[in-house]
Amino acid sequence: PTIRREDYRPPAFLVDSVELHLALHPGATRVTASLTMRRNPAAAPAADLELDGEALTLISSALDGAPLEPGRLARLPGGGLRIAGVPDAFTLRTEVEISPEANSELSGLYLSGGNYFTQCEAEGFRRITFFPDRPDVMARYTTTIEAERAACPVLLSNGNPDGAGELPDGRHWARWVDPHPKPSYLFAVVAGDLVAARDSFTTQSGRDVALAIYVRRGDEDACGHAMDSLKRSMKWDEDTYGLEYDLDVFNIAAVSDFNMGAMENKGLNVFNTKYILARPETATDTDYEGIETVVAHEYFHNWTGNRVTCRDWFQLSLKEGLTVFRDQHFSADQGSAAVKRLSDVRRLRAAQFPEDAGPMAHPVRPDSYVEINNFYTATVYQKGAEVVRMMRALIGEAAFRRGMDLYIQRHDNQAVTIEDFAQAMQDASGVDLSRFRRWYGQAGTPELRVRDAFDPASGRYTLTLSQSTPPTPGQPEKLPVPIPVRMGLIGADGAELPGAGVLLLEEAEQDFTFDGLASRPVPSLLRGFSAPVRLSGLSLEQLGFLAAHDSDPFVRWDSGQQYAVAEMLRMVQEFRAQKPLALPEGLASNISALLDGAADDPAFAAEALVLPSEDFVADQMDTADPEAVHAVRQFLRASLGTRFMARFAALHDELRDAGPYRTDGISTGRRALRNTALSYIGRAEGGDGIARAARQFETGGNMTDVLSALRVLADSDAPERETALAAFHARWRGDDLVLDKWFTIQAISSREDTLRVVEDLLQHRDFDLRNPNRVRALVGAFAAGNPARFHTASGEGYRFLADSVIALDAVNTQVAARMVGPLAQWKRQDAARGAIMREELRRILARPGLSKGTYEKVSKGLAA
């Protein structure tokens, strides 16, 4: 059944308050809910009350205190409940039984390592109790939890604590009251044997907030970075938006079995341990960054998501796009904004551009879905954030801040739409955003083309910008969108000329003229990546010039990358024609120039020295050729490594860091540059890469260095490979998050036997299909992070992924559906590969009892 945005109807009944009582038992938890309900004056009248429910056993029910006769009750197809003939206002009490132990979906109430956790977004609350489980029903919750004291000393829910006490038989209880009305997807309960890392924060108006991060015993000392990130986020939201925290406590609980990264439940965020726990010896610099970002993201949801929430799930980007925008802005403010921007853009291009060009392409505000969990996508999150970013560029920072104030003032405690957000921005700025709203409704990545002309006689330079958006499933025709193009002009000597600013391309094609120029300038376009588009039309010479001279770090980096892509595409053609490959001198001199300036900005140099990924290069071809792209990229890594061996070795020596481990931008930049150098040496001919890596693996004082070294070894045929992998496993077998890295590093190895290794690892005693992190670390990393081996011409990689999806769908349908993606991109591959990929998709589709989420991904993948 497809759900359509245009079919939205307000809820027939509202819930004013909820009293929940949970009696926790692993196999049989009793949930009693008392809902104070009334008819919604704004909705079409309905005689019967319909409540969502899934996997619930109904024990008893009563309306205004009187038991409901069975004749008035009916179960709905998905497991919901219909109650015939209810009055205008009433109290409904239901008692249900659920089994946390049997819940491998990790949606609703489940067990992880003997502790209880919930995940309710998007539709998990209906797996806890009967309820109108939709975000536009906002209620005040009081939650009482009871459990065995020995097994569950800690009992947490949303809001503020409101009493606790003892019960017979070694049980105890605790009550939580959340004063803020909220939708059911923000409900949470955590109970178990957890310990807290504690701190406090005083808000700008003087409210003392007790902060706690609950983790398994032994992990208390790994919460420092998360706690510090939380306090900086709280302060930043006050300073930047005047938004202050609104409860007496802010709790975070970390769980190792979790479908996503984290969840913003009111006053009780639940996190994947991956985004909380960090020690220098176990977490990489990337992990530290991820923690800062995700902690900030979930905290920022308190206002953009919780206080102002979504009317329906088509509006998901209202909270997610805006909150990603906010967490990106926050992280940029913490260190190097330029390097942060590069990595955000790299991620957008790696995940969102292919999605926008593939069978699952959908607008930032989708029009329909079968399973909403399939729409927690790079488009809703990352492109949604880009749209907010463009809006701010169009109306200006001051107006954007007024717009945020107005949005929150108008809609506090409401469930609203993306349109409401755009309207607030329009009203606060006075800028007409009607055409801009197309960004929300139109799928596909716009292609921006540039042509230029210079008239030496008049000194006039003309930039002609044109745009078009390719068709996407269900949207054959596209309209032009307003594209803000931040730009500048560079003179032949490399100096910035007058004329920099923002060009707004609103039509399919427009000319922009610049007068008074002595000679033809080079245009620097999309500075800071001012719009999520694909830019083309610059020559190799112009790209090389910009990479060397532009003042904007993004354009400098991107021009270097585009230059490399152009050369790599040319080499791919040569490889296919069986011509010998040669290192292009232009590319070599770009790398040489980067090495010259590396010491000035190591973090930037590290980003710029890395060649464009195989996927990014293949993405620019009409038909991908994973083998050829892999061969070309490996050839370039080896020949650049060989050519600049002495300089890479010098960097690797000079940037050695005796410790202590620090995560500031300078230190992480130096480590990144040093390990980029090591990776080049590792591929160089006649280099001592293996010896260097082996030494670094043994003596490295932090996981960033150790893992970079292991990566070099795992890619090699050297005997050190097996020794190092075995030592790493022996050392870290007790630490799930580190063990995930051990699986991933083998899954992404460029070695030819990688698929065999991955299949063996699937049988490894430490592999567990029920743990999403482990599945992502092995199956996900192989299918999405190792194009050369996944796309092996025999089709074995495809068969492996299809088998994994089938096995997973019986355990955790959300994780299964997420794994389908790489198979659905069959159109990008040649006919032979495409045929096998489709065959595998059909094999999945033929499985009886396939979940609707996996069904939606596979059938859309096949249809495209």
260 binds, among ligand ARG, Zn ion, none (CB under 5 to 8 A by kind): ligand ARG
Please give the DSSP secondary-structure letter assigned to residue 105: S
Q: CA-CA distance, 827 to 862, in Å (whole number)?
A: 10
Contacts of 98 (CB under 8 A, 6+ apart): 28, 29, 31, 55, 56, 57, 108, 109, 127, 128
Both tokens of 270, joined, read: 């639940």
275 or 407, CB closer to Zn ion?
275
125 or 554, CB closer to ligand ARG?
125
86 or 98, CB closer to ligand ARG?
98
The Cβ of residue 582 has, within 10 Å, a number of other Cβ atoms equal to 10
445 or 814, CB closer to ligand ARG?
814
Q: In what order do the strands lie in the sheet with 73-75?
A: 49-51, 81-83, 73-75
269 or 323, CB closer to Zn ion?
323
* Residue 147: closest CA among 178, 128, 174: 174
The Cβ of residue 589 has, within 10 Å, a number of other Cβ atoms equal to 12
327 or 720, CB closer to ligand ARG?
327
Q: What is the 3-state secondary structure (H, E, C) of 397-442?
A: HHHHHHHHHHHHHHHCCEEECHHHHHHHHHHHHCCCCCCCCHHHHC
CB 2 within 8 A of CB 370: yes
121 or 178, CB closer to ligand ARG?
121
526 or 808, CB closer to ligand ARG?
808
HSE value, Cβ hemisphere, 13 Å, CA-based, for 285: 20
- Tell me the residue type at 853: G
Contacts of 684 (CB under 8 A, 6+ apart): 638, 641, 642, 645, 648
Q: Residues in the site for ligand ARG, rule: CB under 6 A? A: 121-122, 259-260, 262-264, 297-298, 320, 373, 376, 814
CB 123 within 8 A of CB 137: no
Question: What are the C-alpha distances in Å from 220 to residues 215, 299, 423, 667?
Answer: 6, 20, 45, 25
Smallest gap from residue 262 Cβ to ligand ARG (A)? 6
376 or 563, CB closer to ligand ARG?
376
Q: CA-CA distance, 783 to 789, in Å (whole number)?
A: 8
- Tell me the residue type at 410: R
Strand partners, 194: 216
373 binds, among ligand ARG, Zn ion, none (CB under 5 to 8 A by kind): ligand ARG
Q: Is 59 helix (H, G, I), strand (E, B) or coil?
A: strand
- Cα–Cα–Cα angle for 851, 853, 856, rounded to 5 degrees: 110
Both tokens of 141, joined, read: 């919750």
Q: CA-CA distance, 254 to 276, in Å (whole number)?
A: 7
Site string for Zn ion, 313-342 (x = CB under 5 A): -------x--x-------------------
Smallest gap from residue 301 Cβ to Zn ion (A)? 6
Phi/psi-derived region of residue 487, left when phi > 0, alpha when psi is between -120 and 50, beta in every other case:
beta
Q: CA-CA distance, 733 to 740, in Å (whole number)?
A: 10
- Cα–Cα–Cα angle for 388, 393, 399, rounded to 5 degrees: 85
* Cα-to-chain-centroid distance, residue 646: 38
Smallest gap from residue 200 Cβ to ligand ARG (A)? 24
User: What is 142-157 written as a DSSP string?
Assistant: EEEEEEETTT--EEEE
HSE value, Cβ hemisphere, 13 Å, CA-based, for 643: 17
Q: Catalytic residue among 54, 264, 292, 298, which?
A: 298
327 or 550, CB closer to ligand ARG?
327
The verdict on whether 698 is a catalytic residue reads no
Helices (H), 79-195: none
122 binds, among Zn ion, ligand ARG, none (CB under 5 to 8 A by kind): ligand ARG
HSE value, Cβ hemisphere, 13 Å, CA-based, for 538: 26
259 binds, among ligand ARG, Zn ion, none (CB under 5 to 8 A by kind): ligand ARG
Q: CA-CA distance, 402 to 381, in Å (whole number)?
A: 23
121 binds, among Zn ion, ligand ARG, none (CB under 5 to 8 A by kind): ligand ARG
68 binds, among ligand ARG, Zn ion, none (CB under 5 to 8 A by kind): none
Main-chain dihedrals φ then ψ at residue 230, nearest 5 degrees: -65, -45
CB 675 within 8 A of CB 704: yes
HSE value, Cβ hemisphere, 13 Å, CA-based, for 558: 26
Verify cis geometry, omega within 30 degrees of 0, for the bond prior to 660. Answer: yes
Smallest gap from residue 374 Cβ to ligand ARG (A)? 9
289 or 550, CB closer to ligand ARG?
289
Active site residues: 298
Q: Which residues bind Zn ion (CB under 5 A)?
A: 320, 323
